[in-house]
Chains A and B, each alone.
Chain A
Amino acid sequence: MTPKHTALKAALLGSALAMSSAAYAQEIKIGFNGDLSASPSAQSGQAGVLGIQAAIEDINAAGGVLGRKLTLVVRDDLSQPPKSIQNMSDLIDNEKVVAVLGPTNSGNALAWKHIPNQKKNPSIGCIGSATDITKPASANAENYMYRVSMVDRAQVAGLIAYTKNNPAIKNVGFLVETTGYGQGGLKDLQELAEAKGLKPVATEKFGVNDTDMTSQLNKMKSAGADAVLVWAQGTPIAQLVRSMEKINYFPVTLTSWAADNASFFDTAGKTLAEKPIFMRTITEDRTPKQQQLFDRLAPKMASKSAFSFAAHCYDALMITAAAIKQAGSTEGPKMREALDNLQAPVEGIMKTYNKPFSASEHEALTAADYRWTHWKDGKLVTYTDDVVKALKPTDFTQ
């Protein structure tokens, strides 16, 4: 090969590289940080990523945002807070993502919520439901934490409203697991119950890995509780209803939305799984738009009951894209301003979002968007009775 040829080749290669990196720079990167492999909730994270990918495909097919394509950078945090914190810095500082979606576990969001605020990089949660995730650091601090998912406190408000408005319920008891999730729920339960003038006759706790809760239930029974409000993860709720069967004690059972897990259904068994009533964002009576996305993702989705997270995350990405479009920029502070005051409605899977956020409200979905749900013949369907029908939005005030 002559030197001339080599030089030509190098020049060609160089220009090809320059072109590809130019195209690369034009892409807008969105990050996902959450558990995809390490804990039972990893299925929710996997569904979330599928939803984001679907939304990115749709946006890119329509020409992208600001004439640029979107790409997704995924980081698995293995459900560990230290790894999750490290991922945030990696995504924002090294990958230069313009916003981060996720995480799977509420605890991890609580561990790094200062990072999006310090780096002025919006974070849109679409899975974890802990109440405090979207709370600003101080009253007037700039808040970069947003959410398109369920919120624990809003669910608790719903459960309390149901209890309060059901004339058949005389005495209520609280049953929670001893994890951070259970304790957070108990705090919300106690505060909202007190605000509504509801006094529990007993409060009992159980471990997340317990397989027998008959002792706690016997105490509930002797305290005369005819309804129990349960805050726990899916498997322990299943063990709880199994223990109810052992002592043949079936009070009205209102639970956290974790009862929608497939693991709850499988552990409880078909008949017992029908006992709890809970709130959820999607039931299997899907809207046409939800059905469309469900059919599109179903072949790739390991757990069908995790579909709600795919829908939340799809919408979170759509809202992010709308904010970039309105801001005309991917700079964090401008995106935050746009998010707090979105002008155009955003067509989502859950609903059409009209001004989903404001400076003080960072929750896109509220109690009015939730549905009463229970298991029926192995399906998550809408639950209704006279109490549910009579509930008014004002009953859900927090």
Chain B
Amino acid sequence: MDVYLQTLLSGLAIGGVYALIALGFSITFTTTKTLNFAQGEFIAFGAFIGVTMLLLFSGLASTTTAVPSEAASAWRYPAAVIAAGAVAGLMGVLIFLLAVRPFAGKGGMNWVMSTLGFGVMLQSIGLAVWGPAPVMVPSPLGDDVLRIAGAGVRPQELLVLACAILIMVALDLVMRRSRIGKAMMAVAHSPQIASLMGINVGLIMIGAFALSSGLAGVAGVLIAPIASASLFMGIGFALKAFSAAIIGGLNNPRGCIYGGFILGVLESAVGLWQAQWREIVVFGLIILVLAFRPAGLFGQAAVDKV
């Protein structure tokens, strides 16, 4: 029994990370019909902005590979999360203006290459500033294992889970209840019509990229105490999160969240059987979903009316 509970808990913990990043993919896709393929680098970049902020706020020196645990205490960690989100959000505005807007809405796939390229640039800049070594980031809640009915989990994993759910609920409310959310949905539906209705389409699109990149930055600082901050950390998470978004449905933010949790628990459960089959099972599921429910498990099939 312990074993299954452990599997579920471990799966939900990693699923929360996937969900948070998958949400970012969904936000840009629903508003601009483009994706930010540099999302992985934004996660890593965000994590290192967080590291820099923690050191700056606490005035402590870092060893080359670890941030001292006092640096994350009290208000500093939340402040670092917000700062990383803000900086990554600004970078998101940049990537939209430089790498997406020139190509968005036009045929072709130029934005795929230009966002990938932006990611490579971001990683190179990161390597020049912070170097290649991974840096361990302390959790603000300490590192002692918590026991829930015999299964062990670390406080940071619960924190990520809680943040993922909180951000999801907040975003869901904004999207469905507020004027901004409705404007975003209108732009997603048809930029031309939204523009005729007096919505500033350009601004909404910039906002979507800022929000999505900001989320990636926040995710970076949240994951860093679990996976340690590294400029190479993002790619794996981003790929899994993108898979989660496909499974849940790219055009449905809620679906992306469910997709993230499903993927996390599935991975953990497959590990209980044969861990080396994990990727095969995950990507096999994606092919099945694409074949039978192209819009994702929770997505609504878009009907193009001529």
Contact = CB atoms under 8 A, between A and B. Distances in A.
Interface residues of B, number: 40
Nearest to A303: B64
A6 interface: no
Interface string A229-259: 0000001000000100111100000000000
Q: Which of B66, B127, B152 gathers the greatest number of chain A CB atoms within 10 Å?
A: B152
B117 interface: no
A211 B132 contact: no
B275 interface: yes
A262 B64 CA distance: 9
Given A209-B233, A209-B236, A218-B3, A40 B268 contact: no
Given A209-B233, A212-B14, A246-B6, A39 B132 contact: yes
Contacts of A245: 145, 152
A216 interface: yes
A343 interface: no
Contact of A38 (B127, B236, B278): B127
B154 A246 contact: yes
A49 B267 CA distance: 41
Nearest to A38: B132
Interface residues of A, number: 35
B205 interface: no
A269 interface: yes
Interface stretch (B23-31, B53-61, B108-116, B224-232): B224-232
A302 B64 CA distance: 7
B65 to A, nearest CB: 4
Contact of B133 (A40, A178, A215, A242): A40
B256 interface: no
Interface in B248-306: 268-269, 271-272, 275-276, 278-279
Contacts of B135: 266
B6 A235 contact: no
A37 B127 CA distance: 8
Given A215-B268, A302-B64, A303-B65, A266 B127 contact: no
B65 A263 contact: yes
Contacts of B145: 245-246
Contacts of B153: 246
Contacts of A265: 65
B245 interface: no
A40 B232 contact: yes
Nearest to B270: A215
Nearest to A183: B276
B132 A37 contact: yes
B6 A247 contact: yes
Contacts of A269: 143
Contacts of B64: 262, 302-303
Contacts of B100: none
B276 A42 contact: no
Interface in A205-235: 205-207, 209, 211-216, 218-219, 222, 235
A351 B154 CA distance: 45
A209 B227 contact: yes
A215 B143 contact: no
A108 interface: no
B183 to A, nearest CB: 38
Given A214-B152, A263-B136, A266-B65, 15 more contacts: A37-B127, A205-B276, A207-B236, A207-B278, A207-B279, A209-B233, A212-B14, A215-B272, A215-B275, A246-B151, A247-B6, A247-B151, A266-B66, A266-B228, A303-B64
Identify the 10 closest CB pairs spanning chains A and B, nearest first: A215-B271, A246-B152, A266-B136, A266-B66, A209-B236, A215-B272, A205-B276, A212-B10, A262-B65, A42-B132
Interface of B: 2-3, 6-7, 10, 13-14, 63-66, 127, 131-136, 143, 145, 151-154, 226-228, 230, 232-233, 236-237, 268-269, 271-272, 275-276, 278-279
30 contacts: A38-B127, A40-B230, A40-B232, A205-B275, A205-B276, A206-B275, A207-B278, A207-B279, A209-B233, A209-B237, A211-B227, A214-B7, A215-B268, A235-B134, A242-B154, A245-B152, A246-B145, A246-B154, A247-B151, A247-B152, A262-B64, A262-B65, A262-B133, A263-B65, A263-B228, A266-B63, A266-B135, A269-B143, A302-B131, A303-B133
